[in-house]
Homo-oligomer: A and B are copies of this chain.
Amino acid sequence: MSTNRLIYLPLGGAGEIGMNAYVYGYGPEDRERLIVVDLGVTFGDMESSPGIDLIMADMRWLVERADRIEAIFITHAHEDHIGALGHLWPMLQKRVYARRFTAAIGRLKFEEQGHPLEMIQTVEPRPAVIEAGPFKVQFVPVAHSIPESSALVIDTPAGRIVHSGDFKLDASPIVGEPWSEETFRQIAAERPVKVLMCDSTNVFTPHPGRSEATLADPIHGLIANAGGMVVATTFASNVARLKTLAEAGRAAGRTVCLLGRAMQRMVKVAGETGVLTGFPPTVPVEQAAEISRQNLMLIVTGSQGERRAATAQLSRGKYLGMEMKEGDMFLFSSKTIPGNERGVLRIWNALSEMGVDVVDDTNGRYHVSGHANRPDLEKMHEVLQPKILIPMHGEHRHLREHAKLGAARGIATEVATNGMMIDLTGDVPEVAEYIDTGRVYLDGSTLIGAMDGVVRDRIRMALNGHAVATVILDEQDEPLGEAWVELMGLPTAGKRGTALAEMMEAGVNDLLATAPVKVLRDDDKLEEAIRRVLRQVAIEEIGKKPETTIIVSRLIEE
């Protein structure tokens, strides 16, 4: 039998917030034609992925089916939706569709990696339709915290899917298009919505979302009353917020300067693609240094405490000639993403030491979220009346809560996390298969598997330190000279006050002097025996077991 089926497979973004990568398929089982929606990244952290720059969804499943992929669609230009495009595209090599602003950001990434720019195609919003195999796709403008965010209407022979993308119900988003209830009612009226694949980020936030436009007054008021220099940070891609901030600065008689490459790039691309107009004039930082502090406003990158961004640099002292001082004001027009608290507070405290007054969003006056809150999600459910709701873009707790919300309305739902292939052909979603998915790390310039053990070893070295022992044996398996131990990340001395490395060397020398020939002859046995000595000495002396590397060199007669 070869009836067609409609499938959904999240490879990233479902069961986590980050590295969005969703697959839809239509066709006979195991021969479905496929489209990919978004290719995003997650950022590494010291706790679980030290040294890792970016984290992306494992593409293995798609690569093995590359001949079945019709196209790649990118909903918007946030890094968790487009950040992996440059890195993963070579494995897929398919045409990429995105709206003007998103496409421009995508092309910058392609340029960096030397991919063919013509493979990114700019598309117009609905009613324009892109045909990709059995799929007909429209980009529907929604409000979010970056210009030109889009929901996708994906028509298939098995029914209409609305893939929400990241969205909020904002009728006055300052930059870009508002969310239009009328449009979405029309979408549902045109053809019943079979499946709503829906953003779940803010499902726990009980009150309706607020418009970007509500921030203008409080921000204008705050900056109008500031004395010294004003510095504000927000996400570099939140062009609407940048405009609100810059306008408030200008209204207060301040010259505005944008600090941080990501931010300058966003404003430039937004201007070039026509999504941003009327942005107040800005001056380069060299010129800003000559303006008196009370007439100056800096808008800077690094709202999440990123160590190399402008905010962190300013908190450490002079940066590009600018320096914060007593009486200045620093505004976090942003929310701290869970996990970034320590970095952000470190900056706040450093600024406090300089006498800078820090204003954050504790009271919700200087920031609004770009995601639909709980009542807004309910509104979306009500407007679209989908037969099936599949929550996405959320940790498990968000997906589960969102599914409950849908179920309460009588909508069939399923909590589908990364790797769960869902069959959407019938009236209720069914789990078709569990796919082996995973994460890939960009480490320097190399892509490594999350399970390769590299990061595990780094974490172990960080927790336990690293002891390295070398011994040299001659042709008769007799030790030549003495063992040598080097330590990294370990106390130099322990309980007895004697150098730890020397105690380990003594232990290894004892072992070499007394070990039976069968141990001395066998590299594995000898290494294991030396490892045991190192760990035993360490446990006794410093109460912990270091990671070990044992190098046994054997001199062979030449």
Chain B CB within 8 A of A556 CB = yes
Query: Are the C-beta atoms of A544 and B463 separated by less than 8 Å?
Result: no
CA distance A462 to B491 in the complex (A): 17
CA distance A51 to B459 in the complex (A): 9
Chain B CB within 8 A of A1 CB = no
Residue-by-residue, is A481-511 near B (CB-CB < 8 Å gives 1, otherwise 0)?
A: 1001010111111110000000000000000
A544 — which chain B residues lie within 8 A by C-beta?
Answer: 51, 443-445
Which of chain B's residues has its CB closest to A457's CB?
Answer: B489
Query: Are the C-beta atoms of B556 and A464 separated by less than 8 Å?
Result: no
Given contacts A352-B397, A488-B457, A555-B481, contact A462 B494 (CB under 8 A): no
In residues 63-92 of chain A, which contact B (Cβ within 8 Å)?
Answer: none
CA distance A65 to B395 in the complex (A): 54
Contact of A543 among B353, B363, B396, B444 (CB under 8 A): B444
A345 — which chain B residues lie within 8 A by C-beta?
Answer: 338, 395, 397
Q: How many residues does chain A have at the interface if contact means C-beta atoms less than 8 Å apart?
A: 68
Contact of A446 among B459, B463, B491, B547 (CB under 8 A): B491
Copies in the complex: 2
CB distance from A223 to the nearest CB of B (A): 21
Query: Are the C-beta atoms of A465 and B458 separated by less than 8 Å?
Result: yes
The A interface, classified by DSSP as helix, strand, loop or mixed, is mixed
Given contacts A204-B362, A458-B465, contact A481 B556 (CB under 8 A): yes
Chain A residues close to B by CB (< 8 Å):
15, 45-48, 50-51, 204, 206, 338-339, 341-342, 345, 348-350, 352-353, 358, 362-363, 395-397, 400, 443-446, 448, 452, 454-455, 457-459, 461-466, 468, 470, 472, 480-481, 484, 486, 488-495, 541-544, 547, 549, 551, 553, 555-556
9 nearest interchain CB pairs? A445-B543, A444-B543, A444-B544, A462-B462, A50-B462, A458-B489, A338-B341, A352-B397, A457-B489
